[in-house]
């Protein structure tokens, strides 16, 4: 089942072309990695999927998406507990100055359960590790039960064990929704994701990792030569 579809999307930023003729389909039950070099347009694609970037051409269709921004974009030094941070994902539904009702707290606790952080719900967010903070952001995005979860570079600054735990969580969460993750961790993506989308302003290739073995495709996406370590790391 297609949960989100972008078809023939063109988008410009500051008068310059960023995305050209981008077509991407995200399906329920699939964990998709969005791969491409710095400046390829990964964040722009995610923002376009959320309706935050005007489209010059093309369409985006599908239900709502939950968005997990890059961790540094969130303020961590305010005196909120984990459950309050998750509840902030419902602000638009509750209204800024209204008191949350019991069903709102229950939605926050359900989301914390889904990311395996229920035990820490009273803990101040400032006391959490990087991996735990990432899970708080995921819970905050899950609180409205969106059919699509969009993650922007969730592994930045995390050690390998934290990355692996998160990868497992994302795979688990993709069982009943579509998950798209922009990442620079190519090797982890190839090993854990169901599908890859290789982007450099346009989609160079997409499909299951086993179908994207041609080194030419990787060289073209990342503008590297045949001697690149990238190809060796990927084993293509």
Ligand X SMILES: Nc1ncnc2c1ncn2[C@@H]1O[C@H](COP(=O)(O)OP(=O)(O)OP(=O)(O)O)[C@@H](O)[C@H]1O
Can you give the binding site for ligand X, defined by CB under 6 A?
13-14, 18, 36, 38-44
Q: Closer CB to ligand X, residue 18 or residue 212? A: 18
- For the beta sheet containing 57-62, the strands, ordered from the edge strand earlier in sequence to the opposite edge, are 16-27, 2-13, 57-62
Q: Closer CB to ligand X, residue 47 or residue 121? A: 47
Q: Closer CB to ligand X, residue 8 or residue 95? A: 8
For the bound state, the minimum distance from the C-beta of residue 195 to ligand X, rounded and expressed in Å, comes to: 18
Tokens for 210, please give them. 């086993």
For the bound state, the minimum distance from the C-beta of residue 150 to ligand X, rounded and expressed in Å, comes to: 12
- Residue among 193, 227, 225, 228 nearest 210 (CA): 193
For the bound state, the minimum distance from the C-beta of residue 36 to ligand X, rounded and expressed in Å, comes to: 5
Q: Closer CB to ligand X, residue 36 or residue 69? A: 36
> Residue 94: is it exposed, middle or buried by C-beta count within 10 angstroms (0-12/13-18/19+)?
middle
For the bound state, the minimum distance from the C-beta of residue 33 to ligand X, rounded and expressed in Å, comes to: 13
Of all residues in this chain, which one has the CB nearest to ligand X in the complex? 14
Alpha helices (H) along 4-152? 42-49, 82-87, 91-94, 102-114, 130-142
Q: How far apart are CA 147 and CA 63, in angstroms?
A: 6
């Amino acid at each position: 089942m297609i949960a989100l579809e972008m078809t023939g999307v063109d988008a410009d930023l500051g008068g310059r072309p960023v995305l050209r003729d981008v077509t991407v389909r995200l399906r329920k039950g699939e964990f998709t990695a969005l791969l491409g070099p710095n400046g390829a347009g990964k964040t722009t694609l995610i923002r376009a999927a959320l309706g935050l970037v005007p489209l010059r051409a093309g369409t985006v269709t599908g239900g709502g998406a939950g968005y997990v921004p890059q961790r540094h974009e969130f303020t961590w030094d305010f005196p909120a507990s984990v459950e309050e941070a998750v509840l902030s994902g419902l602000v638009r539904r509750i209204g800024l100055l209204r008191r949350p009702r019991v069903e709102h707290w229950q939605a926050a606790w359900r989301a914390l359960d889904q990311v395996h952080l229920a035990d820490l719900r009273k803990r101040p967010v400032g006391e959490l590790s990087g991996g735990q903070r990432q899970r708080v952001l995921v819970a905050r995005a899950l609180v409205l039960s969106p059919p699509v979860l969009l993650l922007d570079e969730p592994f930045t600054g995390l050690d390998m064990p934290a990355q692996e735990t998160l990868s497992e969580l994302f795979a688990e969460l993709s069982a009943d929704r579509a998950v798209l993750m922009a990442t620079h961790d190519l090797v982890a993506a190839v090993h854990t994701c169901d599908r890859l989308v290789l982007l450099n302003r346009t989609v160079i290739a997409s499909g299951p990792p086993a179908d994207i073995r041609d080194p030419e495709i990787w060289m073209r996406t990342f503008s590297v030569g045949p001697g690149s370590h990238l190809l060796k790391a990927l084993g293509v």
